[in-house]
Chains A and B, each alone.
Chain A
C-alpha cells in the first residue's frame, strides 16, 4: 500500500462513519454536523485523487453553503427529537434495502474490477486550468444550461418561500 492509499483509507473510514451517523443520528442538528464530517472527508478524497479544483468547490459549496442552508431549514422548522419521530416504522425494511443495494454494488464492482488483481493507478493531476479549459471549450452548452437551472431554482425558491401578501 502506498502513502496515498493509507491517506485514502483513513479518510474513507471517517467518511463512512460520518455518512452512517447522518442517517442514524437521533438529533437533527447532530445529523447536519455529521454531514459536515462526511462531506469534508469526501473533499479530502478528492485531494488524494489529485482533483484539487473539485475538492475546494466541494468544501466551499457543500460545507460552506449547503450545510448552512440545511441548518437554516432545521432552525426554521421545529423538528421533534427522538427515534420514533425521526424514523418511520419501515426502517428495518429500509435497512434491508440499503444493505441489499450495498451488497449488489460490491458484487458488481468485484465482478468488474477484481480487488485482488487490481493494479494501482497513477492519479491524474487535473489543474484548475485544465478543468476550466474543458469546461469552456467542450462543455459550454451544458454550462449555460446549468446556469439556467440555477436561475430557475433561485426564482422558484423565492416564489415558493415568500409570504403571500393580502391573500
Chain B
C-alpha cells in the first residue's frame, strides 16, 4: 500500500535536479548525467502509474526508455570523445561553431 503523489513528488525532484544539471554544468559528460536523471524521473512515473492502474504497459514503456537512454549515452560519449580529440576540451561553452 503506497500513496501515488509521494512517488510523483520524488520523480518531480529528480527531474528538477536534472534540469538544473543540464543548465548549470559545463562539462559535457556531466550534462549527459543530468539527462539520465531526467529520463529516470520519467521512468519512475511510468512504473508508478503502471503499478497504480494495475496495467503492465507502463513497465514495457519504461524498458523502451531505458533502451533509448543506453543508445543515447553511447552516442553522447562517442561525440564527447571526438570533441576532446579535436578541441582538447569538453567544455560545452566553447563549442559554439554553429551558434551564428
Which chain A residues have a beta carbon within 8 Å of chain B's beta carbons? 2, 4-5, 8-9, 12, 15-16, 19-20, 22-23, 28, 31-32, 35, 38-39, 42, 45-46, 48-51, 53-54, 57-58, 61-62, 65-66, 69-70, 72-74, 76-77, 79, 85-88, 90-91, 93-95, 97-99, 101-102, 105-106, 109-110, 113-115, 118-124, 126, 130-131, 134-135, 138-139, 142-143, 146, 149-150, 152-154, 156-158, 160-161
Contacts and interface: CB of A to CB of B under 8 A. Distances in A.
Nearest to A92: B24
B36 A146 contact: no
A153 B74 CA distance: 7
A149 B66 CA distance: 12
A96 B18 CA distance: 13
A58 B59 CA distance: 11
B26 to A, nearest CB: 5
A153 B19 contact: no
B44 A102 contact: no
A60 B67 CA distance: 12
Interface in B4-25: 4-10, 12-21, 23-25
Contacts of B99: none
A31 B30 contact: yes
Contacts of A69: 73-74, 77
B82 interface: yes
Nearest to B69: A66
Contact of B20 (A46, A98, A156): A98
A69 B95 CA distance: 22
Interface string B44-71: 1001101111111101101110111111
Contacts, number: 261
Interface residues of B, number: 70
Nearest to A53: B59
A49 B51 CA distance: 6
Contacts of A48: 2
A161 to B, nearest CB: 4
Contacts of B1: 2, 4-5, 120-123
A45 B7 contact: yes
Contacts of B24: 23, 87-88, 90-91, 94-95
Contacts of A94: 19-20, 23-24
Contacts of A51: 47, 50-51, 59, 62
Given A88-B25, A109-B9, 18 more contacts: A8-B7, A16-B10, A19-B18, A31-B30, A38-B14, A45-B44, A54-B43, A54-B66, A62-B36, A86-B27, A90-B24, A97-B19, A98-B19, A99-B16, A121-B52, A124-B56, A126-B59, A134-B57
